[in-house]
Structure formats: structure tokens, C-alpha cells
Amino acid sequence: MAKHKHEQKKWDALKGVLGQQPHLEVRSPAAQRLLSTCNGARSVGECVRAESQLGSQAWQLSLEHPLGNRCPKCQRPHRRGHHLGNESRPGSFCAPRLAHDCCTKGAGFESRSSPFPGTSPRPPEPQGSSPCLPAGRSSRSFPSVGKARRLLTLFPLCTRCLGCESPRLIQEANLGPTIWLGDTRSPGQWPAGVLAADLRSRSGARSALVSFPTTLETAPGRIQQVSRTQTSPSEVSRFESGPTAPFPFPLGSLLCEGFPFGPKGARAALRHRGRPDAAPSPTRSPGQPLPTGQTRPSREPAGTAASGTWRPPGPWDQLRLPPWLVPLHYELELWPRLRPNESWASTLTFTGRVNITVRCTVATARLLLHSLFLDCERAEVRGPLPSGAEDRTVGRVPVDDVWFASDMQYMVLELGGTLQPGSRYELQLSFSSLVYQDLREGLFFNVYTDQGERRALLASQMEPTFARSVFPCFDEPALKATFNITIIHHPSYVALSNMPKLGQSTKRDVNGSMWTITTFSTTPPMPTYLVAFAICDYDHVDRTERGKQIRIWARKDAITNGNADFALNITGPIFSFLEDLFNISYPLPKTDIIALPTFDNSAMENWGLLIFDESLLLMQPNDQVTDKKAVISFILSHEIGHQWFGNLVTMNWWNDIWLKEGFASYFEFGVINYFNPEFPRNEIFFSNILHNVLSEDHALVSRAVSLKVENFTETSEINELFDLFTYNKGASLARMLSSFLNENLFISALKSYLKTFSYSNAEQDDLWRHFQMVIDDQNKILLPATVKSIMDSWTHQSGFPVITLNVSTGVIKQEPFYLGKVKNETLLTHNDTWIIPILWIKNGTTQSLVWLDKSSKIFPEMKVSASDHDWVILNLNVTGYYRVNYDQLGWKKLNQQLEKDPKGIPVIHRLQLIDDAFSLSKNNYIEIETALDLTKYLAEEDEIIVWYAVLVNLITKDLVFDVNSYDMYPLLKKYLLKRLISIWNMYSTVIRENMATLQDDYLALVALEKLFETACWLGLEDCLQLSRELFKNWANHPENEIPSPIKSVILCYGIALGSDEEWDFLLNMYANKTKEEERIQLAYAMSCSKNPWILNRYMEYAITASPFTFNETNIIEVVAASEVGRYIAKDFLVNNWQAVSKRYGTQSLVTLMYIIGRTISTDLQITELQQFFSNMLEEHQRLTVHAKLQTIKNKNLENKMRNARMTAWLRKNT
């Protein structure tokens, strides 16, 4: 059994957690099957295979990380204190109080009284003290919501009533192992003994803890015993199924008897916090029809009714809605309780009503629609509706039950009658929920400062699947409908939505406060993810373009200062250009664009109400030396492009999201090129888009841009599609398609596609059919296969090919590009062959398009002679999505041409040659010497974007921080400075004299920072002196800002070359800055000091009270990112390990591994660190770190070999 040791531990954990708790009963069929299989298994392997077949990440967590019995902070054992583990730190979180009181200081946790016998309970805390669940610490508030560590470290046991916040006597009760661990939405519902036993979840800890709780039920005998002997009768007078748990729990651990929301469960109480006037809801027997206006219990786990009844598998277990109903129209009313001049909490409440007109397609007595984090107050179904005007006197279909299947985020209505196919019905639903601060999904609010006052606004983000958290709906992109939207808001605010305001009225609430009711015109048919609202106290600027109003809304300060003027001036012309290009007018009567103080999604294309982060929309009118104009132009072009790609024509489902994101990204460049014909379109596309995605798109670690619908099993997988491949690879493939057709045919096909599918949905194959129709109608362009066959080879496969040309024989072969040229046959998911269009040039002349439609092919015309003037470059303008390799003679010919006449090769291809060569050498396709040979000509290179490509490929972090490269540094310095001085002199003169001349040179603004950084790193005295001058001038006159393209470098070298005085100045500037991006820039600059005492003082902030608002562990990381600081950071972390690990837990280990990767090079250093870790870390942490050390050791060996060859080459060529 030795080789099955890990599996044996999992099996033992299974028995220990489930088999030895007689008071718990397994209710889930999946759990029963697994337990039965494992108990009867003939081997551990059978049990493990059974578990893997059920595919439960949550179950794996509970098996792999059973309860421990030591405090993770001080390592003291608990006699009865159970620990709940997670994926990173098994058995390390103390359930009674998360950690000993001695270990919680400074960690952000309140001490918790132990509910276990044998420990000393603390006195009850006074009523009215701070709640046990910190305000705003919802698991939804963090980007890593799927991580168990975030949940378990942020949400300790709640021993307070969620209603009145008074401490409960449960802390003195002996409940044995039945301890309840909660989170902010479902507090007190999770037995500490088991993380999750519902085996269908694969979405990680958040789903396990929120959507799929344990299906273990306290047996009746246990309930009676607890009730009789351990808790007062008033505390356990009611038992109920929790809001998301199919087992009863004692109310004493959740709610006081005196709090009026007992029957509704913990989450309902949490939602009603701050609403003491709310009345209790009547109870209802299971199966009894839901009376009008009654509040339902909150969400239930998948397959579980509100009454706690187990449901058999059904359509609620599927990711896609069943095709029973088609939504036609929504009447939506929302009432967020946002008031001005309040001390806004981390959450606000909102209520709403929605009437959805649907058409029935299949006879059904059950309705499914999406709902997430909503409490259903009322549910009615009316119909069938007459075919003419709506008649409110129509019949009613009884609603027998409403329950929630939270696995796939459904609300299920069980009807007392059957809906008939072909008939229309109206679903009438009332609901309530929370608005979270700074969540930026669903409905959220921002708190900000404007004109010296603290204010708040509310906005929405529905894409991709967050509309269901705002109102019950059919939340799939193909289910388009029209919307009539009504917003109830405070009179001092303005309400915005997709359509123009239709009218306003007022209403008075129960407290006598007046509210404004704003109604909006009916929208065109659109998916739920485009529904948008905003409630704000903003001002705006406006203009009219072709009779349609365009308004940009922003903080009043920003509007007054003219920060929105540039965006306003270009928005209208962008709309007009795209209207003319596609020959389809923008269909809405207005466009509002709102700038939020913070918006994690950057920008969103909601029809008629575009939402931006203000940093991507606003700019100072007098800030001429910045790339802000280009950035704003790109993003506005992208979001306006979505008004056609995505809004007018929507993908049928999220598997083809690239149809909107890829084409919107591609047309960013067409728009900007139209307004500025001199715009270097190919070079910027290569630098911004193609280089980035080719660097990440490796066949074994990436994904295809178009996926099969059946590959999706969870909602969380949809969110993962908004990545580099969808945007950048999608844009690159659209560009390649345009290149081998031609721009006219490309636009003609898109016009036909957009016209045909307006206000409807399309799939990828629909697009290919329209391209094929255009191809078939002409005879100039011949393709080797259909458009579908060609493009499917690119959209259905991950990765990209590298093609290799032998210039002596004319043979081209293709193969998938792999990291390190390492191929793993077991991981391949594609056929390794693409249909590749090859545009090419020979001796500077463009040649005819050829196709590589098999693994290899001969093209005699590509052979070159022995003449020095004969050379070939494949992939004209780098429009193909692949890399190009040549045989040794081919690279030699290109190098000779560069040294003889670099201008004879276009700029885009000088970029391409550098980028391809260094990428191929890094991954063992060619020798490093071949790539280095291409840099010999650089003394004659005056294009800064080419220098940028050289520097980002050559001066990498691996090179800068590799201790094995020190003997190479003087050679590299001499070699590069000899070639770099000319381009440096050109741009340093511009910086000193008039940098405003670069305001329209986007390539220079992008590349200048890297040039400046490298020149200073190489010790160029003029660069260091210029850094001193600019830093000193800014320190003496802070109102004179350093030009943004070089500000980070100037700040860093100003500190590196300065003393304590400069460092203290930057610290004071940090304290006075309000914008987070500025504060982070200053924080990073402070790590550039070369004085050890300053860096140690800086890192002390990571374990003491800190003025820094970003994660303080970043302080240690940024210090470690400097050449001097990396050793100091390692020593600091080792010497202060207990304090750092106590405060930051697992994150400190992540930081440590980040640092040691930059500081060790010898086997002796690795041995010393292994000895240190053996004494300081737990066993599972030691295994993780030792694996990291082995990786570092292997990388060091690889770097030594690479650096030795580079050093030899530099000696020969310097």
C-alpha cells in the first residue's frame, strides 16, 4: 500500500469524517453511492476512482484536508477544538475561534469564544458591539471568490445573533462536533466536520460553501437531546431547513428568539439587518400554495425543495435552461435604498418586481428561470393571455411551491396546472436582495469624493451571468426580449438606463420619505446581460451626432475641469464611421456613457448606457504627454463596436463569445486608422495584441476560442472565457481572415451577416456561411477549402503553429508550438494541422498568396540563391497567426540584409524577426546565437518600437535577476550601450527640450519607458543624470508632473540615487494621494532604494501598523523585485517568519516562494533553505516549498547553460 499512501489518507478521512459520527445521516444519493462504494471497495483505488467519477472538487477538499488539531499560528494543540482545512492549509483553521487569542492580534480577526467543553469561554460581549461577521467581508467581494482560504480565514464562527447582534448562550453549550461555520450570506450552516458532501460541484470552495452545503442531517434523536440537555428550550423551540442547507439547525446558533425573522433563516435576517420595522412572515406548510405577497425562504441547494425535501435529478441540474418558455417582454421595477448624506454600510438593500411575458413551447407544470442571491417575496403566473392587448382579468395558474436550485442558479416554480404550448403567460415576481459596495457584478455601489464631499452612486454589471442576481430572468444570450424599466430613486439623484427617460412621478414610503419614479422607453429585443442602470449625482456634457444625443456623465469636478471633453469629441465620429462602414444605423435614440470612480471590468458595452472606469475615459485637457488619448480611443472604439457585434447581433451562447469580443477588438484599429491614416496600424497591432497572445497561447496550456457547448458544466466556467484568447486571439484571427480575402470582401461578408441576424443570435457557422456566400459570388480569390474548414482549424484548436522554411529546398513544414519544444502526446486535444495562409515577400517584393494545408509542402519559388541579395520573409505584415522559423541559411541571409540595409526590411518585419527569433530560441527551436546575431545591426536602428521588441526579449526578468548572469553584465553593457547610444540621444533630447512633440507618437509613448529603464540599468550616465534632474524638479515643484510615459522610471531612479530625504518625501506624497493607481506607483518606487536600512524600515510596515492601502505583503514582494532588495527581502522574511506568517497566513508562503526564486543559485543555498523550512513549516508546506526549490534548481541549470552561451557570444562580438 505504500504507493497508495495519499489515497489511503483520503479513505481514512472519509471514514473519520462520516463513518464515525452516528448522529449525522448521509442524505445525498451521490454521497451514499460514494460511501457505499468506498466501504465495499476491494482497494483504495476503487474508492478514489469512484470519487473522481463524481467529479467533486468540494469532496476532494473534504477528503484531502481533514480536521487537524493544532492552531496554525502558535501550533498549540486543542483538546476539543476542531480545525477545518482548505486546499492550501489542511487542518489549519480553528473552528471555535479560528486561532488562539494570542495569535489573532493584528490579523483582523476578533477573538471567538469556544463552544467546546474543556476550554475557557470568554464572557459574552456587550450587546451592540461590532458584529461577528465583519461588514463588507462577503466572499463575493473578492476576485478569488473560489478559494477556500479566503472564506475560511475571513469568516470565523459566528456566535452572535445576526438580527440583534447579541452574543448567544451557545458558546456555553456542548454541541460536540456539530459546530456551525458560516459566511456572510449563509452564516452558521456548515458543520466543521465536513466541508461539503454534495458531490456534483466542481466550481471550487465558494460553490461548496455557498451553493452545495453538506447534505448531512441531524437525526431526530440528536435534536431532542440537544433540546433537552444542552440548550434552553427558547433557543431550540424551532428547527428549520436553512436557507441553503437541507438539514435542521438549532436557531440558538443563528437567531435570537426575540428577533422577528426566525422562520426565514440566517440569510434573510442578514438581509433585513437595519430594517427593524420589517414584519415577520407567516409560515406555510409544504405544498401549500404561496399566498400573494408572502416571503419565501432563501435559496436551496440543487435538487432540494424549500421544505427540505430531496428532489430527484432533473432539468435544474443542467447548465442550460430547458426550452419550455421563451421570454418576450419584461416589465422591471427596481428600488435600491440609496440615499445621500448617509454613512453607507458595506451593503444596501433593494426590492423589485418583474412581470415577464413568456410564450410556452412545451406543455409543462414546472417553470425554471435564473435567480441568484434573491429572496422571492411573491410569485404568480397569469394566463393564458389573449392574443391581443393584455387583459389583467385573465386566469391564474396556481403556484404550489417555489424553491431554488442554487447549483445552476435556478428558481423553480411548481404549478398547480399545466401551461399549454403556443399560449402566452405572465410571470409576476417580487423579490429583494442586497447591493454590495465595490463588487462590480450585478448591482453594486461606489463611494467616492466629489467637490470635497463623500458621495455614493449605484451601477450595474450584468455580463455574463449577473442579471440573475438583480432580478429573476431567463439569463441566456439567445433569449432576447424587450424591456420596460422603472427605477425608484432618491430625488437628489438622476437615474439612467438603456433607453431615454419616458416620464417621472413621485411616491412616499412608509416612513414618509419622498422617492422619484423614473420610467424609460421600451428597449429593442436584447439579452439580459445588456440591461443596465445607474443612479448617481453626476453632471454631464453632451453633443448631437446625426440627430442622436450623446452624453458623458462623470463626477462634477471632472466635468467642470473638462476631463470628459476629449471622449465626447471622438464618440460621435466613431459612431458615424461604423454606421457607414456596416451600412446599418445605430438603432437607439441616445447613448449615455458614465465614468465610475472604480470599475474592475474596465468598460462595458451596455446598449445605450456604456459604463467605464473613469481612468479609461477621462483625461486632463492639459496633459499632452501621455498615451491617454490613444487608450481612450481604443477602448471607446471597442465598446462602440459592440453596438453591432454583440448588441445588434449576439452570439447564440457564450461558447462563441469571440464573435463579439474578437471583432470588436479588431475594429479598434480600423477606427483609429480611419481618423489617423498615418497611424502605424500593423506595428501597434503586433505590439499590443499579437505579441502578447502568442507569448501565452501554447498548445498544451491554452484553449480554443470557439468551444463546444457540451464542454460547459458550470456557470463559473463562463466567467473564465473573458481572457486573452477571446479578445486578442479572436482579433488576430479576424485580421488573418481579412488579409487572405481582402478588406472589401471581408466587410461585404460582415455587412450581410449583421443585416441577416440583426436583433437576433448567431453561431460561428452562421458567420462562415456569409463569408462563403461572398467568396462564391466572385472569381478572383480561390481558397484551398471552404471558409468553414479553414477557420475551424484555427478556432477549434488551441495553440498555434510554427512553420519552418528550408530556403535551399523550398520545403515548408508546420508543427504546433510548444514551450521548450516539449510535446506531450497525452494532452493533445487537436489534430496538429492548420490550413495556413502564407503571404510573403522576396527581396522586398510582395509575392502571391500560397497555402500550407498539410504537414509539409514544397514551394520551389521560395528557394534562394547564394547571392547576398536573395532573401525571403514569410507572413507579410505578420497577419498570420503563427511564428516563422528558417533553416540556418535562411536566418543568415536575413541577418546579412539587416547589417547591409536594415531599411530594406520593413519595420513590421524587423519587429517580427526579433520577436520570432528570441521566442524560438527560448523554446529550443533555434540556437540563442541565431537570435543574438540579429541584434548586430542595431546601431543603425532608429525605430524605437523595434528597440522595444529587442529589449523586452533580451532584458528579461530572468536575465536581470539571475545571479548567474553577473559575469555577463559588463559584456552586455558594453555591447548594448555601443548600439543604444544613438536612439538614446535622439529621445533624451526630446525629453529635455519638448516632450509634447511626442503626444501623437503612440509607439514612442509605449516604448520610451523600456528604453529609459534599460539605459539607466546599464549605467548610462546621461540617463542617471536626467533621472536626478526630473526627480528634483518634481520634488521642488510637485504641480509640474513628470511625463507619465517615464514617470515610473524617474521615481525609481530618483529613490535609488537619493537618500533618506527623497524616500521620506515619497512617503509623504503617498499619504497625500487619493488615487489608488498613483499610490501604488509611489509604493513601488520606494522599493528602489539601495540603502538596506531604508528597505528594512519599509518592510517593517508589512508586520506593523501601515499607511499603505494595498496588500502589505506586496511591500516585501516589490522590495524583492529589485537587485539590492531581493537578498534583504529574503533575510527579512526568514528573520520575521513567525510574525509574517501569523499575519498573512498562506500568502506569506506564496511571497516567500516568489522571493527565493530570485535569490538562490547554488545547491548549498538550496540545502540551507530546506533545513530552514524543515524547522518552520508544516509537512504539507515543506513539500510545496521543496518542489519549488527543485524547480528553481532545474531552472538555474538551464539558465547557466543559456547564459554561458550568451557570454561566449558577447565576448566574441563585443
1049 pLDDT higher than 50:
yes
Q: How far is CA 65 from the centre of its chain?
A: 27
Per-residue pLDDT tens over the stretch 288-326: 333 333 333 333 333 444 444 567 789 999 999 999 999
Best-predicted range by mean pLDDT among 241-255, 524-538, 667-681?
524-538
User: Which residues, in sequence order, are CB contacts of 1073 under 8 Å at separation 6+?
Assistant: 1079, 1082
- Grouping H, G, I as helix, E, B as strand and the rest as coil, residue 708 is coil
Rounded CA gap, 1054 and 1059, in Å? Answer: 9
| Confidence at residue 824, expressed as pLDDT on a 0 to 100 scale | 52
Per-residue pLDDT tens over the stretch 253-282: 222 222 222 222 332 222 222 222 333 333
Q: Which of 639, 683, 763, 815 is catalytic?
A: 639
Q: Is the pLDDT higher at 90 or at 736?
A: 736
Taking alpha carbons only, the member of 458, 437, 434, 444 closest to residue 340 is 458
Per-residue pLDDT tens over the stretch 974-1013: 999 999 999 999 999 999 988 888 888 889 998 999 999 9
In this prediction, residues 98-114 reach a mean pLDDT of 31
Rounded CA gap, 127 and 156, in Å? Answer: 19
**545 bridge partner residues:** 548
866 pLDDT higher than 90:
no
Query: Does residue 727 have an active-site annotation?
Result: yes
42 pLDDT higher than 50:
no
pTM attached to this predicted model: 0.76
Instruction: To the nearest 10°, report the CA torsion of 136, 138, 141, 143.
Output: 150
Minimum mean pLDDT range among 322-326, 345-349, 858-862, 966-970: 345-349
Contact 194, 216 (CB under 8 A): yes
| Long-range pairs, 14-21, Cβ under 8 A, ≥24 | 14/38, 14/47, 14/63, 16/66, 16/67, 17/62, 17/66, 17/67, 17/193, 17/194, 18/194, 18/197, 18/216, 21/177, 21/193, 21/216
In this prediction, residues 596-616 reach a mean pLDDT of 95
Question: What's the Cα-to-Cα distance from 72 to each of 181, 919, 1141, 1146, rounded to whole Å?
Answer: 18, 44, 9, 10
Rounded CA gap, 956 and 686, in Å? Answer: 19
Helix (H) or strand (E) holding 1156: helix 1146-1156
Taking alpha carbons only, the member of 118, 197, 138, 129 closest to residue 159 is 129
Cell 418558455 maps to which residue? 325
| Confidence at residue 822, expressed as pLDDT on a 0 to 100 scale | 63
Mean pLDDT computed over every residue of the chain? 76
Per-residue pLDDT tens over the stretch 869-907: 899 999 999 999 999 999 999 999 999 999 999 999 999
Q: With cut-offs at 50, 70 and 90, classify the pLDDT of residue 177.
A: very low
Q: How far is CA 897 from the centre of its chain?
A: 45
Helix (H) or strand (E) holding 84: strand 83-84
DSSP state at residue 526: B
User: Which residues, in sequence order, are CB contacts of 1105 under 8 Å at separation 6+?
Assistant: none
Q: Is the pLDDT higher at 1185 or at 839?
A: 839
Per-residue pLDDT tens over the stretch 506-524: 999 988 999 999 999 999 9
Query: Does residue 639 have an active-site annotation?
Result: yes
All structural domains of the chain, each given as residue ranges with its CATH number in brackets, are 2-238 (no CATH), 281-442+465-525 (2.60.40.1730), 644-799 (1.10.390.10), 801-934 (2.60.40.1910)
Question: What's the Cα-to-Cα distance from 79 to each of 76, 94, 116, 173, 1023, rounded to whole Å?
Answer: 10, 12, 9, 16, 64
- What count of other Cβ atoms lies within 10 Å of the Cβ of residue 1077? 8
Minimum mean pLDDT range among 164-168, 390-394, 1188-1192: 164-168
Per-residue pLDDT tens over the stretch 1051-1103: 999 999 999 999 999 999 988 877 777 888 898 999 999 999 999 999 888 77
| Confidence at residue 1145, expressed as pLDDT on a 0 to 100 scale | 67
Cell 442524505 maps to which residue? 27
Q: Which of 538, 666, 727, 1144 is catalytic?
A: 727
| Confidence at residue 591, expressed as pLDDT on a 0 to 100 scale | 98
| Confidence at residue 406, expressed as pLDDT on a 0 to 100 scale | 84
User: Which residues, in sequence order, are CB contacts of 1150 under 8 Å at separation 6+?
Assistant: none
Question: What's the Cα-to-Cα distance from 505 to each of 353, 458, 513, 581, 857, rounded to whole Å?
Answer: 18, 20, 14, 41, 73
